Amino acid sequence: MDDALMEAFPINAPFTQTTAALDQCIGNLTGALLANTQPGVGLYDPVDEAPTPGDHYGQTAASLALAIQEGPDSGFWHRPLDAWEALPEDQRGHAPFNRFLLNLLAEHIEQSGASPSEVFHIRRLAQRCKLSRGYPSNNWTLLARLCELQEASGNARIRAHARLRGLFDRWVTPSGAFVDYPARPGIPERGATPTAYHHKALFVAVTAAELGEPEAWQPTIESLLKWSLHVWDGHGHVGGLGRSSHALFGDACLMASLILLGASQSQAQDTPPGRMLHSILQRLQEQTRPDGFIALNPADRKTPSTGWDTYMHLSVYNAWAAAIITWAKDRTTRADRAPVPTKLRALEPSVTDKPHAVPFRVGAPGKAFFLISGCGQPPQAFSRSEVELRYAGGMPLHAAWQGLPLCPAPVRISRQALEANAALAGWTPVFEAQGILFGLTDFDSCEIKRGDRIVRISLSGHPRALVRPATSGLGQHALAALDWRLLGGALGRRAALRRPKLAHVRGHLEWTIHLDLPRIEQTLNLEHRGEPGIRYLNPGGHAVTGTATSECSFLAESGHTEQGQTPPPDAWLETPLPSATAGAIGRSRPPIELPLGQYHAELIVTWTALASQVTRQPDR
C-alpha cells in the first residue's frame, strides 16, 4: 500500500468503528425518513416544507429503505409508495431512477415472503416508468440499461450485460474516468466527468456484476474504483469536479459500491477502499443534521443550501442514500451471492500525467494534497444567465493540508452576480469584451513536471465564452423555442462544445505547488494582440477556505507604462463563495483594462497559520 495512505489514515483504526459508523449512518437516515413520512403525504421535505418533489425519486427510495430497515411487514414503507402511486403518471419523472428502485423493492419483498400479487403490483409500477434509448447525461442512460438488465433472463440477460459493458467501453477513458457528457466524446479524455456521476457509474457497474458475470465486470469496476481513489484526499473528501460537487448523491453511490465490494468487512479495514469508506462515514457524521438527515455537502451543514443546484432536494438525496446503502449492506448478507472477485489490497490511485487527464493528483494525504484540473472540460450547461466554472481547467479543484481543506470546490453562479462581484470567479481569470464574458477555462497545451518537493504545471490557451449570446431576431427566437420544447435542449448542449474563444488574447498559466509546505504559486502571462477595450475583471483571483489564515502576495506588470493600473497591496476584494466546501472565500483585485501587448502577474498564497508549524528542506 502507498506509504502516504498509511500515514494519512492510522492502520489501528478499529474495524468496529467502521461497522458502528455504517450502522449509525443507516439508522439516522432511515429514522429521519420514518419521522418525515406521513399517511397520504409520503415523504416530507423539511427544507422545502412540502412533500418531496413528485417528479423525483424520493418516495420510491424511501419506500425501499424503510422496507429493508423496518421490515416489509411494518407497513411504513407503503406510505411513500402510495403517495407516489397516487400521482398522475405524467408528473412522476426520473423514470430510470424510479424503475430501478421499484425493481429492487419488488425483489426484496419477494424474498421476504410477500404475496405474489403484491410483488406483481410493484413490478407493474416499475414497468410504467418508461425508458428512453438515450438521455442528455450518460449516467441516466447507464441506469436505464441497468433496469433492462434487472428485468432480463436467459439469453436476453447475456445481451443486456454485453450492451451495458459496451457503453462503459465507450464512456470510460484510459485513465478510468467516466464521461457523463457528451454521448459521443470524440477524443476520449475531453468529455465531462463530474465526480458524483463517476461514482454513480461505478455503482451501476458493481450492481450489474451483482446480477451475474462478476469476472467479466471486474476490469471495468477496478478501473473506475482506481479513479475514485485518485480523487480521494486520503481523508474525508472525494472529488470536487463538476455538477453535484462533494454531494451526498455521489457519496452514497461510492459507499454502496464499496460495501458491495467488501470494503466494510474486517479483512478490508487497512486497504485503501476500506479506509476511504471509513473516512467518508466520518465526514458524514459531521454533516448529520439534528433531524437525522445528512446535509447535502460539507458547506450545507452550516449554511443551508450552499452549493446546491436547482434540482437538489434534501429529502431526495437522503432517501437515495438510505435506499442504496441499506440495500447494499443487506445484499452482502445473501447466502447465494457471488461477489466481484476484487483484490482491494492491490488497488491504489491511478495517477496519470497525460495532458488531457483530469485532474492531476499532486502531493500526498499526509502533507499537501492538490487536485489540479488540466486542459478543462466542456460544461454540461451553456446558459445565457448562469456561469459554469466547475469544469474549468487550470485551477485547484480541491486542496488540503493533512486533511484540512485549503481551496474550495469551484462554483456555478449567475452572470449578474459575477458582473457585480468578479471575486466570485475564484481562480479562473475572467474578461469582458463587447458585452460578453470570457474565462481562461480551456487549454490546448498542458504539461506537468514533478520534483522531489515542487511540482510545476504549465497550461496555455485562449479565453472561452462563459455565457451564450442573447437571441436576436425572429429566426433565433424560433430556434431557441424549438430547442426548448421539442429537442430537449440538444442544441444548447451542443453549443457548449463550440464555445467562442477570445482569439486575440492568449493566456499562459504556470502553477508551482510545494509538497511539504501549504503554499501555492501562480504565474499568469497574457498576450493581447487585439483592440483596446477588454476588461480583466478579477486580477489575482483565487479562492481559499476560512479554515486557516492565508497570506496573499500579488505582483502585476505589463509591457507598457500603465503601472498606475496596478492596485495597492491592500486592495483585495473579498466575498463568500457558494461552494460545496465549507468556509469558501473568493478574492481578487479591482478590475483593470487589459493593456495591449504583454501582461504578467504573479500570485503567491501561503497558509501562514499552517506553514509556521512546518520545518522544511530547501527546494529542489
d(CA 312, CA 293): 14
Q: How far apart, in whole angstroms, are the C-alpha atoms of residue 439 and residue 431? A: 6
**What mean pLDDT is predicted for residues 328-340?**
91
Closest CA to 539 of 511, 573, 505: 573
**8 to 3, 13, 245, 269, 454: CA distances (angstroms):** 9, 12, 23, 14, 20
**For range 163-186, the mean pLDDT:** 94
CB 600, CB 434: distance < 8 Å:
no
pLDDT of residue 571: 80
pLDDT given for residue 548 in this prediction:
75
Q: Is the pLDDT of residue 16 over 60?
A: no
Contact assessment for residue 180 and residue 137, using Cβ atoms and an 8 Å cutoff: yes
Please give the pLDDT value at position 476. Answer: 52
The pLDDT value recorded for residue 231 is: 95
Q: Which residue has the higher pLDDT, 123 or 553?
A: 123
Distance CA(333)–CA(340), nearest Å, equals 14
Confidence of residue 335 (pLDDT cuts 50, 70, 90): confident
Q: How far is CA 389 from CA 201, 321, 397, 422, 464, in A?
A: 23, 27, 10, 13, 11
Does residue 389 carry a pLDDT above 60?
yes
Residue 354: predicted pLDDT:
81
Q: Mean pLDDT lowest for which of 284-298, 348-362, 479-493? A: 479-493
Which of 206, 280, 202 is closest to 238 using CA atoms?
280
pLDDT top residue among 2 and 102: 102
Q: SS3 for 181?
A: strand
CA separation (Å) from 270 to 283, 336, 345, 348?
18, 27, 8, 12
Cβ atoms 437, 466 nearer than 8 A: yes
Tens digits of residue pLDDT in 195-244: 999 999 999 999 999 999 999 999 999 999 999 999 999 999 998 899 88
User: 542 and 522 in contact (C-beta within 8 Å)?
Assistant: yes
H helix runs in 132-213, sequence order: 138-151, 154-171, 195-210
Per-residue model confidence (pLDDT) at position 186: 77
Cell numbers of 179, please?
464521461
Give whole-number Cα distances, 526 to 32, 271, 279, 541, 599, in Å: 53, 46, 41, 14, 5
Measured CA to CA, the distance from residue 458 to residue 445 in angstroms comes to 8
What is the pLDDT at residue 422?
97
In this structure, the chain runs to a length of 620
Euclidean distance between the first and the last CA atom of the chain, given in angstroms as a whole number: 26
pLDDT digits (tens, 9 = 90+) for 541-555: 999 998 878 888 888
> Which grid cell sits at 291?
433531524
* Tens-place pLDDT, residues 461-501: 999 999 998 765 555 545 554 444 444 556 566 788 889 99
568-615 residue pLDDT tens: 556 899 999 999 999 999 999 999 999 999 999 999 999 999 998 886
Q: Which of 41-45, 156-160, 266-270 bottoms out in mean pLDDT, i.e. has the lowest? A: 266-270
Give residue 346's pLDDT. 86
Q: For the chain, list the domains and their CATH numbers.
A: 3-346 (1.50.10.10), 360-469+500-611 (2.70.98)
Helices within 288-353 (DSSP H only): 314-331
User: Dihedral through CA 526, CA 530, CA 531, CA 534, nearest 10?
Assistant: -40
Output the pLDDT for position 573: 93
Phi, psi dihedrals of residue 317, rounded to the nearest 5°: -70, -35
Residue found by looking up cell 454540461 in the block: 380
**Which residues fall within 8 angstroms of residue 116, CB to CB, at 6 or more apart?**
none
Q: Which of 121, 103, 115 is nearest to 73 (CA)?
A: 115
Q: Looking at residue 614, what is its pLDDT? A: 83
pLDDT score recorded for residue 471: 62
Report the alpha-carbon distance of residue 506 to residue 525 in Å, rounded.
Answer: 8
The residue among 339, 338, 340, 328 whose CA lies nearest residue 108 is 328
Strands 430-433 and 436-439: antiparallel
With residue 67 as reference, give the H or E element that holds it.
helix 58-70
Q: Can you tell me the mean pLDDT for 298-318? A: 94
Amino acid at 206: V
User: What DSSP element (H or E) covers 598?
Assistant: strand 597-606
CB count in 10 Å sphere of residue 378: 22
Q: How far apart are CA 159 and CA 483, in angstroms?
A: 34
Can you point out the beta strands (E) in 339-467? 360-363, 368-372, 386-388, 396-401, 404-407, 412-414, 430-433, 436-439, 445-450, 454-461, 464-465
Q: Is the pTM of this model over 0.85?
A: yes
Can you tell me the distance from the alpha carbon of 502 to that of 441, in angstroms, rounded to the nearest whole number?
A: 12
Q: Which of 251, 262, 256, 226 is nearest to 342 (CA)?
A: 262
- Mean pLDDT score, 89-93: 93
pLDDT at residue 561 above 60? Answer: no
pLDDT at 72 over 50: yes
